[in-house]
Amino acid sequence: MKQNKYDNPEFFTKYSQMTRSVKGLAGAGEWETLEKMLPDFQGKRVLDLGCGFGWHCQYAIDHGASAVTGVDISEKMLEVAREKTSPQIRYIRTPVEEAEFPANSFEVVVSSLTFHYLVSFEDIARKVYNWLTAGGDFVFSVEHPIFTAHGSQDFYRDAGGNPLFFPVDHYFSEGQRDTTFLGEKVTKYHKTLTTYLSALLQNGFTITGVVEPQPPAHMLAASEGMKDELRRPMMLIISARK
C-alpha cells in the first residue's frame, strides 16, 4: 500500500488548516515562482500528479485548458477538490505511481510537492515523457535535495531553540527518510539533484528552468520567522520540455 497520509483524519485536519490550504495558491510561498514557470494553458490537455485540493487544476481551467485531469491517492483531498473546483475537472483516485494513460494524452503535466513521496523519480519521468505530446511541458516542484538529505527537515538549534544552521547529511544515500510533518510521522524519499536532472535528460527532456524559490517580499515582511527561509532552499522547481 502506498503511503496515504492525507486520508488520516488528524493529518487531514491539520493540513486543511495550513495557509496554503486555506488561501490556496496565494498562500503558498513558492507560487509566484511556479506560476512564472508554467506554460500557456490555452487549449491544452493538462494532467496534475498529486493534485490534492485541486488548486492547480482549477488554475489550468481558469487559464483556458481544454481538459484537466487531477490524480491523487487521497479520497479526502479529492472530496474537497470535487466540491470546490470546476465540474469540468476529472479527478482520479489512484497512487501517482499507478496512474496509467495512453501515449500523447497531454500537452502539459504539472506536479506540486508530490515526487518526494515517491520511491522512484526515474519511473515517473519516463511515464510523463510518454504521456506528453511532442513539445509538451512538464513543470514540477519538489522538496529540495538539501532539505530532504538529513531527514530532520529542521534547523539545528541552540539550547534556546534558535536556529544555528541547517544540517545536511547522507546526501548520496538516496531513499527513505522518516520525518515529522504537522506532528505526524511522514515517509519521504530523498533524491539527489543529479537524480532529478539526469532522469529528465536521459529520458529525452530538454531542461527549460531550474529555480529554488524564495518567499515573496510581502511574505518575508509579514513574519520574522519567514526570514529563515532564506537560509536554506526548501524547494526546487523544474520545468522541462519533450
Interacting residues with a second copy (CB under 8 A)? 146, 149-150, 156, 164-173, 192-194, 197-198, 201, 206-212, 214, 230-233
CB of 192 to a second copy, least distance (A): 6
53: closest CA among 29, 85, 97, 11?
Answer: 85
CB of 196 to a second copy, least distance (A): 9
Sheet of 106-112: strand order equals 90-93, 67-72, 45-49, 106-112, 132-143, 235-241, 206-211
Strands 90-93 and 67-72, bridge-based pairing: parallel
Nearer to a second copy, 146 or 186 (CB): 146
Long-range contacts of 40-44 (CB under 8 A, 24+ apart): 40/64, 41/65, 41/108, 44/106, 44/107, 44/108
Q: Residue 60 contacts by C-beta under 8 Å, 6 or more apart in sequence?
A: 41, 44, 46, 48, 68, 108, 110
Task: Round to whole Å and give the CA distance between 10 and 136.
Answer: 38
Nearer to a second copy, 27 or 163 (CB): 163
CB of 224 to a second copy, least distance (A): 16
Residue 199 and residue 122 in contact, taking contact as beta carbons nearer than 8 Å: yes
Residue 114 and residue 139 in contact, taking contact as beta carbons nearer than 8 Å: no
Nearer to a second copy, 89 or 235 (CB): 235
CB of 57 to a second copy, least distance (A): 27
Nearer to a second copy, 156 or 181 (CB): 156
Task: Round to whole Å and give the CA distance between 166 and 231.
Answer: 8
CB of 92 to a second copy, least distance (A): 33
Nearer to a second copy, 77 or 235 (CB): 235
Nearer to a second copy, 84 or 231 (CB): 231
Nearer to a second copy, 103 or 230 (CB): 230
* Residue 162 in grid coordinates: 534558535
CB of 139 to a second copy, least distance (A): 14
CB of 240 to a second copy, least distance (A): 10
